Amino acid sequence: MQPADERRRHAISRLLFALAIAAAAAAVLLGVTGGFTIRPFGVRVSAHGALRPALLALLAAAVALRWLPAERQVQLLARWRHLTDRLLPVSAVFAATTVLVLGLTFGARVAGGSDGYGYVSEARLWLGGNLHVPSALVTDAPWPNAEWTFAPLGYRPADGHTVVPTYAPGVPLLMALFRTTLGSCGPYLVNPVCAAVLVLLAYGLGVRVSGPVTGAIAALSVASSPTLLFMSMFAMSDVPAAAFWTGAVLLACRSTRSSAAGSGLAAGIAITMRPNLAPLALGPALIAVWPMIRQDSRDAWRRLFVFGGACLPFVLFIALLNNRLYGSPFQSGYGDTAALFSAGHVPANFVRFPRWLWQTQGPLIFIFPAAMGIRSPGPSRLVLRRMLVAFVVLVFICYLWYTPFDAWWYLRFVLPAFPVMFVLAADVVWWGTRRFGSRARIVAAVVFAWVTIDYGITQARDRGAFEIGTGEQKYADVGRYVAGALPRNAVVFTVQHSGSIRYYSGRAIVQWEWMEGAWLDRAIEYLRASGFEPFVILEQSEMPVFRERFASQHSVGLIDRAPLAVHSRGVYIYGTSATAAAPPVTVPHTTGCE
């Protein structure tokens, strides 16, 4: 029979373990739901943060373990290690699956705005075999900048009275592949799938750097990143480009020529998605050849040749396409490169990127440079860590010179650095605490992972990541309403909805932001005399700009009349004829991808 003291210790330990389980369950519940506020008997009771119950669970479990006899502690730790060896890969798969499900559930499935319309419509053009879209109305239009006014968002004028896409071809080609295999919804699955792949690649890179614990922490951290969750909801290029760059880095870490070829292939595809990040190819190229420079310089050169041979065709493809569409191999659809990149942009970006990182990811991500001093589990890994830090720095350098923006989600530009930063930060936590013993390492790893996950998910929720699909649906709603309610000869003056109206209704548009202020009345008269019926579609936020630009025009009074139709998200449709519908029709909500 056990002594009384030992039975007491066991009882206390079981009680503390029960408390740890309850606190952990509460932390998960609060993290998923965002918390609650209730008022029983008029007393306000609220709980909204998962961090405190998570720390309580960790503390209770640690104390419970200490109350057990030494032999029992050793047994439990051995079982824990065996269990975690099995669960770590599963955690990465779970994180990737969660990101995929969130993207499919809350993501936008509309060709709206500039990016969504630009990428999805370009995918259709690639399937059709012609990137030049005729713009017949521009031929006789009398107002200045007419060729630009007839180009929807995401497009620009080209030779022969046509418009061409401004976006690089990589993501539209991937969307075209998904559309061919999965149907009309295929293009909108690209980002959720690439986000899930990115999480798995972060795990693989972490394992390669210092083991499965590092990989699991990195995967969970990437999966909960507000930037990744936010951008995985849009049909844009940031997440796919980050996935292919991470794949290039991971393949470069392997020591075979075939992996060097795969790394070059992944880097080349990434370049077709974001050509301005072509200098990043230097990172995986050096990682691929560095281990062999001192051992066998010939093999190092062979690997570099293989890497370059796999990557170069994609660079040439981009150069040839730019020359055909924009008149120069070095000219992109975004316009003059010299205007986009300037030393004058560095101060603003140098302040904004770190500030946004701190606000959205918290301070723990900033420990990643400390990985350059970690020598375990071998000296070759030290060089790899330093190269990975250099890769992160190179990503930020590529955008320090770029036109600055003032919204946190422009962290999307540097998304290729996120998996590497989280791998290195997790590496610092796991290997940097090894001198304090296995228990301290476990505690440090759990605390880092939980704080990062909790903070990231909270930020993503508070910043509206899970409301994007609902908000973006307005573009399809309005476009489909135009297709069914407006006449075939309608010409719509609009900006934000210029692409979606073209995509869903096929009606001609006039981007009024390119029109000089003195031309609105004459443009409407010209179109009506030419057999067209003009309409105006404005977002609530566009109305002050529209009013100011055309203050001298009689037609600006259109927006003071009752609109023909209204969308609940603040979109107004106006006719330009003398009569107006009253009361306005409500634009119905729609579903589906086409």
**What does the pLDDT read at residue 30?**
64
Say yes or no to pLDDT of 53 above 80: no
Domain check: are 286 and 312 in the same one? yes
Domain check: are 457 and 478 in the same one? no
Whether 495 is in a domain gets the answer yes
Whether 103 is in a domain gets the answer no
347-388: per-residue pLDDT in tens?
999 999 999 999 999 999 999 999 998 876 655 688 899 999
Domain check: are 429 and 557 in the same one? no
Strands of 490-494's sheet, edge to edge? 508-511, 490-494, 533-539, 571-575, 565-567, 585-586
Q: Could you tell me the pLDDT band of residue 66, with boundaries at 50, 70 and 90?
A: low
Q: How many CB atoms lie within 10 A of CB 549?
A: 17
Cis peptide before 583 (omega within 30 of 0): yes
Counting the structural domains of the chain, the total is 3
Say yes or no to pLDDT of 112 above 60: yes
- Mean pLDDT within 185-201: 97
The amino acid that residue 5 corresponds to is: D
Sign of CA dihedral 214, 223, 365, 245: positive
**What does the pLDDT read at residue 70?**
65
**What does the pLDDT read at residue 1?**
42
Domain check: are 576 and 508 in the same one? yes
User: Which whole-number Å values give the CA distances from 32 to 92, 229, 460, in the listed order?
Assistant: 18, 14, 12
Domain check: are 537 and 433 in the same one? no
Residue 264 token pair:
């070059």
Q: What is the DSSP string of 252-305?
A: HTS-SHHHHHHHHHHHHHHHHH-GGGGGGGHHHHHHHHHHHHTT-HHHHHHHHH
Q: Considering 463, 495, 528, which residue would you say is the last residue of a domain?
A: 463
Q: Which of 212-221, 525-534, 555-564 has the lowest mean pLDDT?
A: 555-564
Which residues 6+ apart lie within 8 Å of 160 measured at CB? 132
Q: Could you tell me the pLDDT band of residue 59, with boundaries at 50, 70 and 90?
A: low
Domain check: are 340 and 265 in the same one? yes
Whether 329 is in a domain gets the answer yes
442-485: per-residue pLDDT in tens?
778 888 888 898 899 989 999 999 999 999 999 999 999 999 99
Question: Taking the CA atoms of the chain, what radius of gyration do you get in angstroms?
Answer: 28
**Domain containing residue 428:** 188-463
